Structure 1
Amino acid sequence: MASANFQSPVPAMRILENEHQYLMHLMNEWHAIVLNFENDTYEEIEARAEFSVLRKLLIDFLEPLKNHTDKEEKFFFPLLGHYIGTEQGPIVTIEAEHEEIDAYIGHFLHHTRAGIDHLSLDDMKQIAKDAGEAFEVLMVHFVKEESVLFPMTDRVMKAVDQDKLLEQLNTLIV
């Protein structure tokens, strides 16, 4: 994984940026398999083995992703919301993206819950698209948070609240 290159001067936001970098590292592992499905790289036997790896990587990805989004939704969004509101605007959009990401990964897992032995190569290619969509939403999502919400924290949030947020966010996601 590349060394951390933080944009935010706010220590609490650097924790979230670091988590984004870790999550992107994990995402790149499973996205490579998704791209191979999109590019018709696999024959059926290899596809089944790689699809099994994809499923495992997505399952392993869920816990750190959930821990990260839970921290944002429990601590970061409500505190920033005191300054910018929570009924409309960027926080509403970001929270909706959390749900969209969960839906794509959930849809993938729903279609693989009974195992993958019965899936055809075309089935696997279609189901892998859900992982690809989750990846795309996550990438845009991270950019939005880092370019909109994190700088907002620096501009509008009082230092005492930034310190409180640092204490709340300073936990592991793995």
Structure 2
Amino acid sequence: MNHNSPCFGGFGDPNEINYCAPLKQLIDEHPSLLAKMAEFNQMVQAFEADDTITDWNNAIDQLHEKLSIFIAELEPHSDREEDVLFEMMVKYIGREGGPIAVMEYEHNTAKLNLKEFMDKVAFIKENEKTITKEEAFDLFRHLKIVYLTLTDHFMKEENILFPMAEKTLSDEEKEELAIQFKKIA
């Protein structure tokens, strides 16, 4: 990101900010989540490029397993942001039309596509349905949206929202953030 752009907001270089523990925790959770997303995205790309696949159920089962692990890690991270950080930031920057609105929209987009993928796979398994290539590609579409949305989302958090939170929140609010984060497993 161009740190001189008007979109950056003048919070300084995000890499040089001394973040409070809760914000540092959110930042530190991103690499593992990004690695898991890269892994399922690479699997999707490999499956799409492989003209020899005849068992699409196996491909979807492999992705379902990866996504289950990813979701288990993503959910508490998302809860800490939505239920605690975003709510604290709303009183300073509002919810409509600003960074919080964007963050919530992206969370909702990712969650909706993860749910669509998981629900469709559950239906397929329950009904012992054989998946066609076209159906598999439709399922892949949900994962591509998740990957693109959250990859960009994490960058926005690290370059805009988290620096803004570090500068804006009081020491007392940062302590409350830490207390609330501990309640979310």
TM-score, structure 1 length as denominator? 0.85
- The question of 1:25 aligning with 2:19 is answered no
- The question of 1:118 aligning with 2:130 is answered yes
- Judge which range, 68-77 or 81-90, deviates more: 81-90
Deviations 1:108-135 (A, max 9, x none): 1232222275111232122112111111
- The question of 1:94 aligning with 2:106 is answered no
- The 3-state SS of whatever aligns with 1:95 is helix
Partner Cα separation in structure 1 for residue 27 and residue 183 of structure 2: 13
The runs of 5 or more residues in structure 1 that have no matched partner are 1-5
Deviations 1:59-115 (A, max 9, x none): 222122111111111110111122222233110110111110011111212322222
- The question of 1:134 aligning with 2:134 is answered no
Q: Which amino acid aligns with 2:150?
A: L
Contact 1:101 1:138 in 2 (8 A): yes
Contact 2:47 2:59 in 1 (8 A): no
Deviations 1:39-78 (A, max 9, x none): x225224644232110111122212211111111111011
Larger radius of gyration: 2
Aligned with residue 81 of structure 1, among 90, 93, 98: 90
Partner Cα separation in structure 1 for residue 52 and residue 181 of structure 2: 45
Partner Cα separation in structure 2 for residue 171 and residue 33 of structure 1: 34
Coordinate RMSD, CA, aligned: 2.1
Aligned with residue 36 of structure 1, among 46, 50, 59: 46
Contact 1:15 1:169 in 2 (8 A): no
Contact 1:34 1:128 in 2 (8 A): yes
Contact 2:113 2:146 in 1 (8 A): yes
- Provide closer, same or farther for how the CA distance between residues 71 and 42 of structure 1 changes in structure 2, counting only shifts above 3 A: farther
- The 3-state SS of whatever aligns with 2:96 is coil
The residue aligned with 2:3 is: none
Identity of aligned residues (%): 25
- The 3-state SS of whatever aligns with 1:87 is coil
Contact 1:36 1:42 in 2 (8 A): no
Partner Cα separation in structure 1 for residue 51 and residue 147 of structure 2: 20
The residue aligned with 2:9 is: none
Q: Which amino acid aligns with 1:89?
A: G
Moved over 3 A (4+): 45-48, 170-173
Partner Cα separation in structure 1 for residue 158 and residue 181 of structure 2: 16
Contact 1:104 1:134 in 2 (8 A): yes
